[in-house]
Amino acid sequence: MTFTDRRDYIRQTYATETAAQKKARESLTDPNDQISIHPEDGRFLQCLIHLAKVKTIVEIGTLGGYSALWMADALPDDGLLTTIEYDPRRAAIARDNTKHEKKIKIIEGDALTVLPQLSQDGPFDMAFIDADKLQYGHYLDWAEENIRKDGLIICDNAFLFDAVWKDGPVDRVRETARRIMRDVNTRLADPEKYHAILLPTVEGMAVAQKRF
């Protein structure tokens, strides 16, 4: 049995897409847009949302709204997912893909500018960090301030395309990004501050519950 066999089995049995999720994934035809989470990641996020009774989520990095649709499906009727996307083309695709979902609010803009403005609506129950890797440290700083005690901070791509544990140069990964991702993982792994683990998903997903 290979990793792909396992992944396919999990997708088929536990992580079937809704029609809206499938349509959102298929709407991303540009090769540069093939960077959404995977269905099993979406289902895992839903389980976390149910287990931790999450009602409010801030997502950094919307793309076409695929992960937002997965997460919003797990929120209660009065829940809200606010998701930030700075690329106008992608934000427009996401608005179209999520137009029937009242629990998703898309903010078009740079997360570094939008997040401080969002703080007034917090604290939030969960942050899903899935945008530019060079800013992960800043996103974690924001989440540490604005996610409530016992809330969740999730970082996707925590393997940094398999560069995080390597020492030499890795194609298309900047050394600064590797330093930042290692620092983020070290911060989340602090047992005094978080109950956390880096899960071996395709991209690596760091999952942390805040203890302070």
Ligand X SMILES: C[S@@+](CC[C@H](N)C(=O)[O-])C[C@H]1O[C@@H](n2cnc3c(N)ncnc32)[C@H](O)[C@@H]1O
Judged by CB, which is closer to ligand X: 14, or 195? 14
Per CB under 6 A, 86 contacts ligand X: yes
Per CB under 6 A, 37 contacts ligand X: yes
Contact indicator for 133, 177 with CB cutoff of 8 Å: yes
Q: Which two tokens stand for residue 197?
A: 């683990």
Per CB under 6 A, 159 contacts ligand X: no
Contact indicator for 84, 114 with CB cutoff of 8 Å: yes
- How many residues contact ligand X, by CB under 6 A? 19
Pairwise CA distance, residues 36 & 188, whole Å: 23
Per CB under 6 A, 110 contacts ligand X: yes
Per CB under 6 A, 183 contacts ligand X: no
> Judged by CB under 6 A, which stretch of 1-9, 84-92, 142-150, 166-174 contacts ligand X?
84-92
Q: Is the peptide bond before 123 cis (omega within 30 degrees of 0)?
A: yes
Among residues 146, 136, 88, 87, which one has the least CA distance to residue 112?
136
Per CB under 6 A, 111 contacts ligand X: yes
Q: Which of 84, 104, 164, 205 binds ligand X (CB under 6 A)?
A: 84
Q: Which of 90, 178, 187, 210 binds ligand X (CB under 6 A)?
A: 90
Q: Which of 44, 66, 136, 159 binds ligand X (CB under 6 A)?
A: 66
Name the H helices within 100-152.
Answer: 111-118, 136-146
Per CB under 6 A, 130 contacts ligand X: yes
Per CB under 6 A, 205 contacts ligand X: no
CB atoms under 10 Å from CB of 34, counted, come to 10
Q: Which two tokens stand for residue 190?
A: 């602090």
- CB proximity list for 10: less than 8 A, separation 6 or greater: 40
Binding site for ligand X (CB under 6 A): 35-37, 61, 63, 66-67, 84-87, 90, 110-112, 130-132, 135
